[in-house]
Amino acid sequence: MRVTHVQLADFRSYPEADVELGPGVTTFVGRNGQGKTNLVEAIRYLSVLGSHRVATDAPLIRFGAERAVVRAKVEKAGRSLGLEVTLHQGRANTARLNRGVARPRDLIGILRTVLFAPEDLSLVKGDPSGRRGFLDELCVALQPALVGDLGDYERVLRQRTSMLKTSRNARGDLTMLDIWDEKLAELGGRIIAARLRAVGALAPHVAAAYQDVAPDGGDCAIAYATSLAEDLPQDAAALGELLLARLREVRPKELDRGVTLAGPHRDDLEITLGGMPAKGYASHGESWSCALALRVGTYDLLTSEAGPDSDADGEPVLILDDVFAELDQGRRAALAARLERASQVLITAAVAEDVPAALAGRVIPVTKGRVGDE
């Protein structure tokens, strides 16, 4: 799988851009603020319908414009596919697939990417929401249909939490709350089951990647952390029953506080280093190694899922966004050695010398929103 062509209109700093991409390594080089990250952010957007830099789409639309367009051609399994998303100010985004009208979510799963960025340090040092987002992104890459359950869960969660707040002072008929409980538990059970499968599949890849990136750093392990039970079933229906029972148990506290206290939105990905929680115990360098292990492990897992006997959608495109400037020489070399044989790698760097020699390839300058010789 690889991206062969990218076109932008009014995306971030670009009134327009048109870039041809080849296999192997492509490095976009330029000083900070020139637009390098905006390019790879656009490609990433077509993969996950979101940005790794901002929580909403509004900042992605160039100041003063009414909409932004991201368009790309993707080559996979011998076919060329056209993906397009239009981001609108104040209304829902629209999409096209091979020039036909589509829902944006229909594009999920077509282009698979794995992104490394300075923000990844928050996967280890930050709050649980970032780790939940990482897990859900992986689950959708492995099972694209899950994006519907995730969206429905967020909608039901908002409705249920709103009802809890309005019922705080009127403990009358809670029949509707019972209905929301059942729906939340059904969706939550499916999401937790998908996360458990993803963590189980990812864990050995993370452990192996950490040993490569930090061979003297001990053992890195991941596990799914939830308040439902210590020994969790793997079946979605059984997990839904556990969640429903938990919701009934904590309802009095929920009515007092006006928040939903149980469900996948409260869970976490536990990262340990040498048996100790990485958050709070790991040094800065160890934290970087853990974050790299999560991303390299994800790449390895998705690549293994895309083997010759698999129905998966192909080796993911690697995006390394200004990550080498954050790493010492040893971690740079270890990361490059793991990724140098990838089918397509897109790198951004302030100076070409930051990129290890093992990842030498095509270099495209980016200056004041101009890409190459545009």
State the Cα–Cα distance between residues 8 and 354, nearest whole angstrom: 27
* pLDDT score for 328: 84
Domain containing residue 25: CATH number: 3.40.50.300
Instruction: Look up residue 175 and give its two tokens.
Output: 């029949």
Max Cα distance, the chain (Å): 69
- For residue range 250-260, list pLDDT tens digits in order: 999 998 899 99
Question: Alpha carbon 44 to chain centroid distance?
Answer: 9
Q: Is residue 147 part of a domain?
A: no
* pLDDT score for 306: 60
Q: Is residue 28 part of a domain?
A: yes
Q: Is residue 106 part of a domain?
A: yes
* pLDDT score for 308: 41
* pLDDT score for 373: 57
The whole model's pTM is what?
A: 0.91
Check if the beta carbon of residue 271 is closer than 8 Å to that of residue 290. yes
Q: Is residue 345 part of a domain?
A: yes
* pLDDT score for 307: 46
* pLDDT score for 169: 61
Q: Is residue 339 part of a domain?
A: yes
How many C-beta neighbours within 10 Å does residue 134 have?
Answer: 20
Average pLDDT per consecutive 10 residues, the chain (374 residues; last block may be shorter): 95 94 94 92 95 93 95 91 96 94 92 93 95 96 93 95 78 78 97 97 96 86 92 93 95 91 96 93 91 94 67 77 86 86 92 89 89 68
Q: Is residue 142 part of a domain?
A: no
Q: Is residue 240 part of a domain?
A: no
- Residue ranges in the chain assigned as alpha helix (H): 36-48, 122-125, 128-142, 146-166, 175-213, 236-257, 278-281, 284-305, 329-339
Return the closest-CA partner of residue 329 out of 347, 351, 355. Answer: 355
Q: Is residue 179 part of a domain?
A: no
How many folded domains does the chain comprise? 1
The residue segments making up the domain with residue 55 are 1-112+315-374
